[in-house]
Every structure is written in C-alpha cells, then in structure tokens.
Amino acid sequence: MLKSIPAIVLICGTLSAQEPSLESLRQDGRWKQVQARIDGWYRANPQDPYALLWMSRVKQAFGQLEEALDLARKAVAAKGDDPDIQTQLASTAGMSAGSAEGIMKQYSFAREMKKAGEAALALKPDHKEAAEMMVMYYLQAPAIVGGGEGKAKTVAQQLTRTQPVAGLILQATIAYQKKDQATYRALVQQALAKDPASADALMAQATIHLLVKPQELDAALAVYRKVLAIRPRQAAAHAQIAAILAEQGKWAELDAAFAEARRQLPDSLWPYYAAGKNLLDENRDLDRAETFLRVYLTQAPEGGTPSLAAAHWRLAQIREKQGKKAEAIAELELALKVAPAFKPAKKDLERLRKG
C-alpha cells in the first residue's frame, strides 16, 4: 500500500540578496544546489550567523547531525534574536533526540529543542516553520519534557490568525496525528477553499486520497500533478507520482515520470527509490524493484532523501524475499559499510546470521 505523506513533513547577512532563491531551493529539497551556493560564503565568513544557519541546514539535510547541531548552536550564540536561527537549533536538536542512545540524552536534546522552538515563537509568534515544529513536539513529547496536545492546538490556532492556510493545515496535522480523518479532511478543504493554488494544501489533499481504503490512487495522482504544475521541482510530489505509477503497473507512464523528474531535479533519484520501495512493500515485481533501487545507487543521494545505506537495506529485503540469504547478508554488510550506525540493517544482519 502506498504510504501517505502527512500535511506537515518535518524538515525545516552577506548573502541576503540570494536568500529568496536559496529558500526556494530549500523548499523544493534541492540541497546540492544550496550547498554549491553557500560553500564559498561559509568558508569566507565562518562566524557569520547566517552562513552558520545555512551550513547547518545543509549538514542536517545530508544526515550530518552532530555538525549541524554544532553549527546551529554557534549561530544562536552569534545571533540568538533571529527566529530562523532559533528554529534551526530546535530542528537539529529534535532530530538528535530521535537518534540518541539512552533516555537521558534523548531528554536533554528534547529540552534543547523545546527551549529553542519556544524562543523562536516568542520572537515571531507566527513563524510558520517554528509553529509546525513545535506542534509536532508537543504532540509527540512526553509531559516530563513539556509535551501536551493542548499546547499544540494553541500554537496552530495562533498561526491560523495571521496565516490562515498554513494554520489550517497545521490544525489538520494535529487531526492526522490523532487519526481523526474526518476532521483532517474538513480542515484541508477549508485551506483549499482559501487558496486553491497552495502547493502545501494540495499535498495535504493528496494524502486524503491515500488514507481511504481502497486508496484512490488516480485521484491522488491527479493532485500531485497539480502540485507540479505550480512547483515543477517539488521533490516529494515527483516521488509520490513514481510510487503510485509503480503500484498501478503503468510502466510507460512511470518511465515518462522518471524522465521528467530527472529533467527538473537532475541531482535527485528519489523517484526511483520511491517506486522500488513501493513494489517491495507490495511484494511484487521484485526484479523491477531491484532495478529501480540499483539506479538510485548510481549517484550520491540528494539531501533529505533516503541514504545509500537505506537502498542497500531495501535490496537486502528483496533478496530475503527471494530466498537468497547470502546475497541479503551481503547487501546488509554494504549498508553498514556505508553507515555503520544504521540500525535497521544492524538488526536484520544479526537476525539473518542467527537464523
């Protein structure tokens, strides 16, 4: 079954004249292009808070969390009164909490995230990215580190007052997390009524079609194509289109979708991974799934997309389903060679070696 994408997917000075285009690249997930633009800026101005901010974002996108967190802390130390900088610290601390070993480290990072996120909202109460991040924090964090559904609703309602579409989608995200599909659907429709051309609202609308059973794949596909008509380089929409077409077995259309994605996003092969993973999840056309994943492995992943280790792990799952245990083990070993701390591969390798 194709997995839906929540309404909010947490991502998150001297170059000010370029920042709008940098922001557009960031929103589309074109992190290699962002890195190419800021490398020289950062090297020449390693203490500039905005150079630190953007380099932290890049490091985070490429999974280099320790470096990203260190850079975000330096940026806050240099200019703690900027809500974007506080939001970046919250984002990196939150991701660090999710990957930390041990409950005390997790709580320490969680408290750092909460402090920075709330600082960002104190500086700018309608900061969209900070609001999105803190809503997810309040929904997911235990009470001991300040979680609470009531706080999440307050932040979402506050955003709705000044940014109605973003606020409604954020309220819909709360409903999504609570598995309240009726409320989710109603709030997304309200957001679309206010701005039918909102790419974010359309992405949320597509999720509605994927939540029902049976999934409304053609309807979701049409919505994702609307997104691309507005934002042709929206990486997540390209990936979802590929996944849907693979599930439907529309191979000619899928080839065309791959070609368009490569034209718009030459630095990313995410659609190939999405198509391969969906076939794997459906346990069909495994040879074709392997082909797609092998294509994904032919270039370095774009920031914010699955790692090479994840692709090798998926290939190991294919080999295991095919009864090829030795080849599955070999793929898991490759995954751990690329990323020694990759937990899913470590777990599966231990299981296969024991079995």
**What CATH number matches the domain at 1-170, 1.25.40.10, 3.40.190.150, 2.60.40.10, 1.20.5.510?**
1.25.40.10
> Per-10-residue mean pLDDT for the chain, 355 residues long?
52 38 91 96 96 98 96 98 98 93 93 98 97 96 93 97 97 96 97 96 96 94 97 96 98 98 97 98 96 98 97 98 96 96 95 90
Return the pLDDT at 5.
53
Which residue carries 């591969």 as its tokens?
A: 345
In angstroms, rounded to a whole number, what is the distance separating the alpha carbons of residues 315 and 321?
A: 10
Please classify residue 81 by burial: count the beta carbons closer than 10 Å to its beta carbon, then call 0-12 exposed, 13-18 middle and 19+ buried. Answer: exposed
- Closest CA relative to residue 60, chosen from 50, 72, 76: 72
Please classify residue 166 by burial: count the beta carbons closer than 10 Å to its beta carbon, then call 0-12 exposed, 13-18 middle and 19+ buried. Answer: buried
Give me the residue spans of the domains in the chain: 1-170
Return the pLDDT at 70.
98
How far is residue 166 CA from its own chain's centroid? 17
- As given in the structure block, the two tokens for residue 337 are 């060679």
Please classify residue 164 by burial: count the beta carbons closer than 10 Å to its beta carbon, then call 0-12 exposed, 13-18 middle and 19+ buried. Answer: middle
SS (HEC) of 138-207: HHHCCHHHCCCHHHHHHHHHHHHHHCHHHHHHHHHHHHHHCCCHHHHHHHHHHHHHHCCCCHHHHHHHHH
pTM score, whole prediction: 0.90
8 Å CB contact between 233 and 265: yes
- What's the DSSP call for residue 6? -
- As given in the structure block, the two tokens for residue 129 are 């990215």
- What's the DSSP call for residue 299? S
Return the pLDDT at 4.
60
- As given in the structure block, the two tokens for residue 248 are 């439907």
Q: Crossing angle for the helix pair 308-321 and 343-354, nearest 10 degrees?
A: 30
